[in-house]
Amino acid sequence: MSSVPRRVQAARAAGQALAALDGAERSALLSNCAEALQSPAGREHVLAANAEDLRLAQAEAAAGGLAPALVQRLRLDAAKLAGLAEGLRQLAAQADLVGRVSLRRELDAGLLLERVSCPLGLLGVVFESRPDALAQIAGLALRSGNAAVLKGGREAAHSNQALAELLQGVLAQRGLDPAALTLLEGREEVRELLALDRLVDLVVARGSSEFVASVRAQTRIPVMSHAAGICHLYLHAGADPQMAAQLALDAKCSYPAACNAVETLLWDEAAGAALDACVERLREAGVELRGCPATLARHPGLEPAVEPDWDAEYGTLVLSIRRVAGLDEALAHIAAHGSRHTEAIVTGDEAAARRFLAEVDAAGVYWNASTRFADGYRYGLGAEVGISTDKLHARGPVGVDGLLTYRWLLRGHGQCSTEYGPGLRRFSHRDLPLD
């Protein structure tokens, strides 16, 4: 057997001990991880490794092989480590969700059914992004009682290795098998991981749309990820111009690369003043605006939008703008072009807002709020493994909840199914209090 299946099997086995911990033990484990990250030795270990990654990346950038922005995103410092440690402490403080009973039903006297939450088992985590992701996702795995096999980006290899060693050291100190957090290296090892559908329960993929698509194409294991973030801000006839402009600025400019940034502004004919306010603020902020013919008629200075603009996730300071004939056309545009991530309406008209909230099929549907709130921290989930645009299992920002499943436990005294039926015993199906 190649070493990858053996290591993945070992990670899976190590996860059983994590699942068996009680909530206080899992909290203590997370607190210890936070302490290790801020201990002088831990900090030095990680920052030295990060310096090596930065040195290599800068050399590659100088040779033209890596974008300078990417080099910047690699950088860790004491403040970033403190932030990661704070995130782990927040997870440590969270109520434990493993072992929660969500249904308790007496099927008959002495025949008790319970639905009890439990970890999924083993997560496969593949990410392109900053090394911060390793600590965050490892924290969520430990909080949810799951083992994880992780593979990060090539550019952050030393940083990821140092972070993993640090967390593995904490596991060992607490008498747990460090294999519960296993780090893989190289594309070939990822390919092997993605083939192990008997061992890996869920793949978490973080990175560009192309990266996620390539992961999905390689595996039969369920993949949690967001495919794309094409979010809309719809200025309804009842929109307040100043509010519209603030929201458009926040939703487009506060972090244009984020999946919850808006890509398209829709406006009603009667929301012209709101549109004008948005255009003014967005231009001041340096956003390139691309309009449909009706938008250009009102704002001749804009670039013309072409058909692919309505399906584009720019990820930069570009925004497309389209006039719609009203709520129905806005809903139709969003249904046709949205990626089911987060959609927002700006309006003072409660009836219109109600319809928008009821009818848009997306993970997040907002009224008079920025799409940028679509985030695990902002929702109060403590952290997130990512934002899911799938409809099954977990939708929107995914925290600990999305890394759990449940089992149906039935305790009896020898009852047989053939005792029940017409003319025989009847099920009582009496729901009992949960706690």
Residue 304: φ, ψ to 5°: -75, 135
State in angstroms the smallest separation of the CB of 45 from a copy of itself.
27
Output 131 or 364, the one with its CB closest to a copy of itself: 364
Q: Among residues 184 and 346, whose Cβ is nearest to a copy of itself? A: 346
For 309-334, the DSSP string reads GGG----SSEEEEEEESSHHHHHHHH
CB 231 within 8 A of CB 360: no
Q: How far is the CB of 235 from a copy of itself (least distance, A)?
A: 12
Measured from the CB atom, the residue of 55 and 377 that comes closer to a copy of itself is 377
> In the complex with a copy of itself, which residue's Cβ is closer, 211 or 379?
379
Cα distance from N-terminal residue to C-terminal residue, the chain: 47
Contact 98, 117 (CB under 8 A): yes
- Report, in Å, the least distance between residue 406 CB and a copy of itself: 6
The H or E element containing residue 221 is none
Closest distance of CB 245 from a copy of itself, Å: 10
Q: Closest distance between a copy of itself and the C-beta of residue 369, in Å?
A: 3
> What is the 3-state secondary structure of 78-125?
HHHHHHHHHHHHHHHHCCCCCCCEEEEEEEECCEEEEEEEEECCEEEE
Q: Any residues with CB less than 8 A from the CB of 419 and at least 6 apart, and which?
A: 425
Side chain identity at 216, as an amino acid letter?
A: R
Q: Least Å distance between CB 51 and a copy of itself? A: 26
Return d(Cα 304, Cα 290) in angstroms, integer: 5
* Nearest distance from C-beta of residue 341 to a copy of itself, angstroms: 11
Sign of the CA dihedral 291, 336, 316, 86? positive
Q: Which residues bind a copy of itself (CB under 8 A)?
A: 16, 20, 105, 107, 111, 113, 120-121, 201-202, 222, 240, 243, 246-247, 249-250, 254, 346, 353, 357-370, 372-375, 378-380, 390-393, 395-397, 405-418, 420, 427, 429
Structure-derived torsion over alpha carbons of residues 394, 395, 399, 402, reported in degrees to the nearest 10: 0
Q: What angle do CA 17, 19, 20 make, to 5 degrees?
A: 65
Nearer to a copy of itself, 100 or 298 (CB): 100
For a copy of itself, which is the closer residue by CB, 70 or 258? 258
- Shortest approach of a copy of itself to residue 100 CB, angstroms? 13
Q: Give me the least distance between CB of 279 and a copy of itself, in Å please.
A: 18
Quote the tokens at residue 262: 């808006």
To the nearest whole angstrom, how small is the minimum distance from the Cβ of residue 161 to a copy of itself?
A: 30
Comparison of 194 and 202: residue with beta carbon closer to a copy of itself: 202
**8 A C-beta contact, residue 313 and residue 213:** no
Q: Which is nearer to a copy of itself, 164 or 362 (CB)?
A: 362
Give the Cα separation of 158 and 162 in Å (integer). 6
Q: Return the closest-CA partner of residue 155 out of 227, 68, 41, 216.
A: 68
**């926040």: which residue's tokens?**
250
Question: How many residues does the structure list for the chain?
Answer: 435
Output the smallest distance, CB 115 to a copy of itself, in A: 8
If we measure between CA atoms, which residue out of 284, 270, 280, 277 comes closest to residue 244? 277
DSSP secondary structure code for residue 435 in this structure: -
Smaller CB separation from a copy of itself, 35 or 375: 375
Q: 420: which DSSP letter? A: B
| Dist CA 296 CA 22 (whole Å) | 61
